[in-house]
Structures are given as C-alpha cells and as structure tokens.
C-alpha cells in the first residue's frame, strides 16, 4: 500500500520531462566526487520488461556514460559511468527511454568525507585493542527496532540461542564509555548488512542487500552515528566484510543477473572447507575447485568473482562502505574460499583509495606455512597474496591453547606456542596478524581451559603483550562461558546488563561476582597499561626457549623493557635475570604492571601464573 502511494505522488514530479520514480535499484546507490575509483560500474535492476533495450542518457557536467551492457537476465543492466575530477556534488539523473516511455532515476554524487586518513580509513595496528561483539547480543538500546515489519525472520526470544535478541547499534553507542574505560580502541562487529533470511539472522554473515544496513540494529543512520561517536573518542571501526557468499534471499540470487553470477553445480556441492588444495603441489584441480567454488552452506551461495561484473560489484561495495561509513579497518570473512586473484585486486583497490587502510582475513587453517600463504609472506610460491594480515588461528590453536591446556613436553604445551611464533619468519609482518583467545565461532576461553580463571588471566596477559593486533571477544572480560559444541549459539549469549532488567549488569557492576569484577579490573589495568607502552605496542619481541613449562619473552625498545614470564607448570619456578642477560643486562628489578609489586632480579613465580614486569635499572 505504502509503495503504491509513493509511486503515485512521485509520478507527478517531473524532471527533464520524466517522472522520478524508484523504477530501478542502483548498486552502488551513490558515489562521490574526487575518488580514485572514478569509473563506476553501476548495476541497475528494474522490474519491468524490455529494460535491456532502453536507451540510457546522463546529462550532468563531468559525468559521462561510457558504456551500457544488458546482462543476460533482462532486468539487469551495467552502466559504466566516469566521474571527472572537475564534477561537482549533486543529483545525477539517469534517464531510461523506451517506446515513448521514460523513466528517470537519481544517482547522488556526494561530497567526500573530510579527513581521509586522519578521521577514517586510518588503519588498525598493533597499538590497538579490538573488541569483537555481535550487535544482536551486546545491548538492546532501542526496543522499537526489535521487529521490523515485512522481514522474514520475526523471531524475538532471548531464551532461544538462534532467535533474535534485540541488541542493536544504539546499545553499542550507549556503552562506548564502558569500552573505552576497559582500554578498547577499536570496535569490530559481526556484519551489519541486512540479512533478510528466514532464520539464523543473528550472526549477520548472509547478506541480502549490500546497500542496506540491517534495520533491526538501527540501519544506516545508527551505523553512521556509531562511526561518528567512535571517531569523536579517537576510537576506530572495523567492518566485517563477506565477499565469498551471500544469503539465499539476496536479490541477485533470487533474480540472478547472469547465469554465472554464482558458481553453479549439477547438484548441490559445498566447499570442502579444505585450504590445502590451493597450495599443495600434489593437489587435484577438482579439489581446488571444490574449495573455492563450492558453496559455504545451502543457504549461502558462492559468488563467482571471476565474472568481472561480480568483481566490480563487490569491489565497489567495499570502497562505498569505507567512504559512506568512515570505516578504519577491514576484516574479511572466509578468506581462503574466495578467488584469490580477485581478492588481490579487491585489497589493492581499497589500499589504492585509502593508503592507510588495513585488513586482515579469516584464515582458519592449520600450520603457519598454510596461513602465511594467504597473506604477504617471504615464501617463494607461485601465488603471492597482498593481504596484510590473518586472523591468527595458528597462534591460537598451536600457540596459546596448548600452552594453557597441555602438559609441557618437547613439542607440547608452551613449547607449541614458542615453536609457532618461531615460524613468524614466513610472514612479511606477523605484527599485522589479529590475535585472539576466542571469537564467535569458538568455545569461549574460560570454558576452553576448564573454568580455570588463572589460565584465562595468563591468556589475556599473553594476548596483550605478544606481537600482533589483539582482539578481545565481548564478555571474556566478565568471565562469560560457552561451549561451541553442540551449538555455536552458546558462545553468542547476551552480554550481562545489555537488556532492561538484567539481574547482572557488567556496565554498572550490579549483581556481579567478585571474580567477574576482578577480571574486568584485570583487563582494564593491562589494556590501559598497554596503550601507553611503546615496547608492547611497537617494540621488538625476543623469546627464550621454554624450560620445563616456564616461558619468558621480552618486549623492548629504546625506552623500556617488559619481561613477560609465563609459568604454565604446576610448580613454583625460580626466575633469574642472569639467564636472560641479552635483555636484562643493566636491569636490577621489575615491577608487576598489574599488582604494582616489585620483584628483585631473582624471584619466584607461583605455578600457573603469568607476570608482566616493567624492568628498572
Ligand atoms: Ca533493538
């Protein structure tokens, strides 16, 4: 009803003799003047016959229609439009003329954001501390958006792990003080794009419209408000990008522009989730094809990125997102299942436009060599990736997890962590990897270490002192628990205090246990110390061979030396500066940066503890 009404009203408005009506959807929905990417391929979608035979006209100073291409499905057309550097912001009118009928569609040409590289697209680096949260599960700041009429998933039940819970961007905005006090500098949220799927919409990884921000979390207006609020505080925003697939209710899947817009198989074929065929010298081509062209799930069809129209569609959306919302960093989902040459082009387009922009890709693979293959590396391999960093599953699965969970051995326990970091020689810059103890796909750290709070503390101490960009998963700081099996929903529970009437409130401390408050304080102390430590955020790393479960490493620069002592054994351990003279020479004592307690150059660290010591002369 509403739609019809709009159409009737708009039909009376006349520009250059034609009605301005939403006959067509344009992707991207707008562009900017003064972009390096100034040849834009606009995908036009309209729901009437004969669209591909239209004559298209643009009459706007500095804007030139270079080419029109009718795609196989007559409802889509690609318009190659050049925007001259001399053009001015305004409303470009694209006219479609056919058989005496005329339609005109507005394509706004906007003024760019100010402060490129200073206030947005700044890049995220090892000086930052990233907080990963799921908007549906952090805080409900606006109950009016809990349901959006007409959307397929109308669920709303906090007791059901796969229903929607009502959390939103206003909820995040409301608690930026909390995050900043905790020591967080950067926010990464699971995807914020519309997921108009029938169910399982809580995670956001099944886009149904690239140009609509999920209305149930507040839409584009709130996303812009959040971005502004972060930047005002000197904080940064990472966007979670998905190039590999879309949701099965995406418009370009329901009504496909071309036969090869998606990878088609004679019968449903999922990806094998195997990365090995992509670099294995003995791999079969069919295995490699399955990895990359197989679908992520039956509800997440696989985009064919070797189709140039698909590639342009995705690349332009990435640039559009950064410019539109002022994004600072980019996290790329399911990196290994993408067409890798396409990803190189895509990454380059972003850094060409935004030289300081940084990105890391999800590389859930096994072994540093495999992970390094997908990022900038020092290996002599046929394919060279230009991705800056990985989500470092190696430092997790073959690093801190065994360090915390296994008994010490020649290759076990903390020796695994030591060994994995020693393989950093394969990366161009391991410091660009994003490191973590848990995330939305993994058992939460507290559950993973059997509820041992001291082990969580050791994990956090390591996370905030080793190399890389540390990422904290929401709720880890207040001892949230959750096992990934049998249901990943259990690691995506609501943050306490995010909803009206929550008996426990992590923002105010109400109803919190002493242990939970203690962990919150521990993270706050460490994270805020880290912020101001040049040695930890920018300095060098030196690690020593672990000895019977005792692992000692240093972060250091010209200004300070930080000694990190991880005792993973169940015995107290003697530590003597004289065993680490390369780094301790000239230093007489250290101060525990969490407790403030001083230690001499010989001290005992209790079993199952990690201390971070600021050394003094
Ligand atoms: Ca809400």
Could you report the per-residue pLDDT of 120-134, keeping only the tens digit for each?
999 999 999 999 999
Residue with the bigger pLDDT between 7 and 517: it is 517
Is residue 510 part of the annotated active site? The answer reads no
pLDDT exceeds cutoff 80 at 12: no
pLDDT exceeds cutoff 60 at 21: no
Å from CA of 143 to ligand 1 middle: 4
Residue with the bigger pLDDT between 25 and 270: it is 270
Is the distance from CB of 484 to CB of 490 less than 8 angstroms? yes
Å from CA of 157 to ligand 1 middle: 12
4 Cβ contact list (under 8 Å, min separation 6): none
pLDDT exceeds cutoff 50 at 15: no
> 69-72 long-range CB contacts below 8 Å, 24 or more apart?
69/309, 71/257, 71/258, 71/309, 72/257, 72/258, 72/259
d(CA 259, CA 264): 8
Query: What is the structure's pLDDT at 23?
Result: 62
pLDDT exceeds cutoff 90 at 146: yes
pLDDT band at residue 195 under the 50/70/90 scheme: very high
Strand order in the sheet with 589-592: 540-543, 550-556, 561-567, 609-616, 589-592, 598-600
| Residues, CB within 5 angstroms of ligand 1 (ion) | 140, 142, 145-146, 166, 168
pLDDT band at residue 7 under the 50/70/90 scheme: very low
pLDDT band at residue 292 under the 50/70/90 scheme: very high
Query: What is the structure's pLDDT at 3?
Result: 36
The reply to whether domains 130-536 and 540-616 share a CATH topology is no
Query: What is the structure's pLDDT at 117?
Result: 64
Closest CA to 171 of 229, 211, 119, 128: 229
Å from CA of 139 to ligand 1 middle: 8
Å from CA of 177 to ligand 1 middle: 19
- Which two tokens mark 443? 């058992």
Query: What is the structure's pLDDT at 1?
Result: 32
Residue listed under structure tokens 């081509």 = 285
Residue 91 main-chain phi, psi, to 5 deg: -100, 110
The secondary structure of 73-88, three-state, reads CCCEEEEEEEECCCCC
For strands 39-46 and 76-83, give the pairing: antiparallel
Residue 508 main-chain phi, psi, to 5 deg: -105, -15
Q: Quick one: the chain helix, strand, coil %, rounded to 5?
A: 30, 25, 45
- Which two tokens mark 77? 């057309």
Quickly list DSSP for 241-301. Answer: E--SB--TT-HHHHS-SSTTSB---SS--B-----GGGT-TT--HHHHHHHHHSBSBTTBP
Q: Could you tell me the fold of the domain covering 24-110?
A: Immunoglobulin-like (2.60.40)
Å from CA of 254 to ligand 1 middle: 28
Burial 396-431 (b: 16+ CB within 10 A, else e): bbbbbbbbbbeebeeeebbbbbbebbebbebbbbbb
Query: What is the structure's pLDDT at 50?
Result: 57
Give percent of the chain above pLDDT 90: 90
- Which two tokens mark 254? 């329901």
pLDDT exceeds cutoff 60 at 210: yes
* Whole-number average pLDDT of the chain: 94
Give percent of the chain above pLDDT 70: 94
Question: What pTM, to 2 d.p., does this model score?
Answer: 0.95
- Which two tokens mark 4? 């019809």
Å from CA of 508 to ligand 1 middle: 20
Å from CA of 527 to ligand 1 middle: 30
For residue 157, count CB atoms less than 10 angstroms from its CB and return exposed for 0-12, middle for 13-18, buried for 19 or more.
exposed
* Out of 8-12, 46-50, 106-110, 380-384, least confident range: 8-12
pLDDT band at residue 6 under the 50/70/90 scheme: very low
Query: What is the structure's pLDDT at 48?
Result: 52
d(CA 408, CA 396): 17
Q: Mean pLDDT across the stretch 50-71?
A: 83
Å from CA of 247 to ligand 1 middle: 22
For 305-348, the pLDDT digits (tens) are 999 999 999 999 999 999 999 999 999 999 999 999 999 999 99
- Which two tokens mark 577? 């500066």
pLDDT exceeds cutoff 50 at 2: no
Q: Identify the CATH homologous superfamily for domain 540-616.
A: Golgi alpha-mannosidase II (2.60.40.1180)
pLDDT band at residue 16 under the 50/70/90 scheme: very low
* Distances in whole angstroms, Cα of residue 251 to Cα of each of 24, 212, 223, 264, 535: 13, 12, 22, 17, 49
Query: What is the structure's pLDDT at 560?
Result: 97
Closest CA to 89 of 62, 57, 114, 66: 62
For 68-79, the pLDDT digits (tens) are 998 988 889 999
Query: What is the structure's pLDDT at 51?
Result: 55
Query: What is the structure's pLDDT at 10?
Result: 35
Burial 352-388 (b: 16+ CB within 10 A, else e): ebbebbbbbbbbbbebbebbbbbbbbeeeeeeebbbb
For 159-181, the pLDDT digits (tens) are 999 999 999 999 999 999 999 99
Query: What is the structure's pLDDT at 20?
Result: 42
Set 362, 392, 448, 516: catalytic member: 362
Is the distance from CB of 23 to CB of 105 less than 8 angstroms? yes
Query: What is the structure's pLDDT at 49?
Result: 52
Domain ranges for the chain: 24-110, 130-536, 540-616
pLDDT exceeds cutoff 90 at 17: no
Å from CA of 395 to ligand 1 middle: 36
Query: What is the structure's pLDDT at 55?
Result: 79
3-state SS assignment for residue 607: coil
**Is-cis flag, bond preceding 254, omega within 30?**
no
Query: What is the structure's pLDDT at 8?
Result: 32
598 Cβ contact list (under 8 Å, min separation 6): 589, 590, 591, 592
Residue listed under structure tokens 């993270």 = 523
CATH architecture of 130-536: Alpha-Beta Barrel (3.20)
pLDDT band at residue 62 under the 50/70/90 scheme: very high
Å from CA of 393 to ligand 1 middle: 32
Residue with the bigger pLDDT between 114 and 352: it is 352
Query: What is the structure's pLDDT at 96?
Result: 84
Set 136, 168, 275, 333: catalytic member: 333
Relative orientation angle of helices 453-463 and 514-531, to the nearest 10 degrees: 10
Is the distance from CB of 183 to CB of 526 less than 8 angstroms? yes
pLDDT exceeds cutoff 70 at 610: yes
**Greatest CA span in the chain, whole angstroms?**
91
């Amino acid at each position: 009803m509403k739609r019809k009404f709009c159409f009737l009203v708009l039909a009376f408005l006349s520009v250059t003799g034609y009605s301005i009506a939403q006959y067509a959807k344009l992707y991207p929905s707008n562009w900017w003047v003064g972009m390096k990417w100034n040849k834009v391929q606009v995908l036009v979608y309209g729901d009437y016959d004969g669209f591909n035979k239209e004559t298209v006209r643009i009459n706007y100073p500095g804007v030139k229609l270079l080419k029109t291409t009718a795609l196989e499905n007559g409802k889509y057309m690609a318009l190659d439009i050049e925007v001259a550097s001399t053009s001015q912001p305004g409303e470009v009118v694209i006219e479609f003329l056919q058989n005496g009928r005329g339609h005109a569609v507005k394509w706004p040409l906007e003024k760019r954001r100010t402060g490129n590289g200073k206030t947005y697209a700044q890049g995220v680096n090892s000086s930052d501390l990233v907080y990963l949260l799921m908007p549906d599960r952090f805080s409900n700041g606006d109950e009016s958006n809990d349901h959006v009429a007409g959307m397929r998933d109308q669920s709303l039940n906090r007791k059901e792990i796969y229903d929607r819970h009502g959390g939103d961007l206003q909820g995040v905005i409301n608690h930026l003080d909390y995050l900043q006090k905790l020591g967080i500098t950067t926010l990464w949220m699971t995807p914020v794009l519309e997921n108009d799927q029938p169910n399982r919409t809580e995670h956001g990884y099944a886009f149904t419209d690239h140009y609509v921000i999920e209305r149930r979390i507040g839409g584009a207006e709130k996303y812009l408000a959040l971005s502004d609020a972060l930047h005002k505080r000197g904080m940064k925003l990472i966007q979670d990008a998905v190039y590999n697939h879309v949701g099965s209710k995406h418009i370009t899947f329901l009504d496909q522009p071309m036969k090869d817009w998606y990878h088609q198989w004679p019968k449903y074929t999922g990806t094998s989730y195997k990365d090995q065929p992509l670099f294995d010298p003995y791999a079969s081509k069919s295995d490699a094809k399955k990895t990359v062209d197989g679908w992520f799930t039956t509800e997440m069809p696989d985009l064919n990125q070797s189709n140039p129209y698909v590639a342009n569609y995705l690349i332009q959306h990435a640039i559009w997102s950064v410019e539109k919302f002022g994004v600072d960093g980019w996290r790329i989902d399911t990196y290994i299942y993408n067409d890798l040459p396409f990803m190189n082009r895509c990454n380059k387009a972003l850094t060409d436009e935004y030289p300081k922009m940084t990105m890391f890709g999800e590389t859930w693979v096994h072994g540093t060599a495999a992970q390094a293959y997908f990022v900038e590396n020092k290996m002599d391999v046929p394919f060279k990736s230009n991705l800056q960093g990985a989500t470092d599953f190696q430092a997790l699965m073959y690093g801190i997890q065994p360090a915390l969970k296994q008994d010490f051995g020649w290759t076990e326990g903390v020796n695994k962590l030591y060994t994995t970091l020693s393989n950093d020689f394969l990366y161009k810059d391991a410091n660009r990897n994003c490191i973590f103890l848990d995330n939305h796909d993994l058992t939460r750290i507290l559950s993973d270490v059997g509820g041992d709070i001291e082990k969580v503390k050791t994990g956090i101490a390591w996370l905030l002192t080793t190399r890389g960009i540390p990422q904290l998963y929401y709720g880890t700081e207040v001892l949230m628990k959750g096992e990934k099996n049998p249901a990943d929903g259990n690691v995506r529970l609501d943050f306490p205090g995010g909803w009206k009437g929550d008996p426990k409130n992590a923002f105010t401390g109400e109803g919190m246990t002493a242990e939970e408050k203690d962990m919150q304080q521990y993270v706050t102390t460490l994270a805020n110390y880290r912020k101001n430590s040049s040695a930890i955020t920018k300095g060098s790393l030196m690690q020593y061979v672990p000895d019977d479960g005792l692992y000692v490493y240093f972060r250091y620069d010209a200004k300070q030396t930080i000694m990190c002592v991880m005792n993973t054994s169940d015995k107290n351990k003697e530590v003597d500066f004289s065993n680490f003279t390369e780094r301790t020479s000239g230093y007489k004592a250290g101060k525990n940066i969490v407790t403030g307690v001083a230690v001499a150059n010989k001290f005992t660290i209790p079993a199952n503890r990690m201390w971070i010591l600021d050394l003094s002369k």
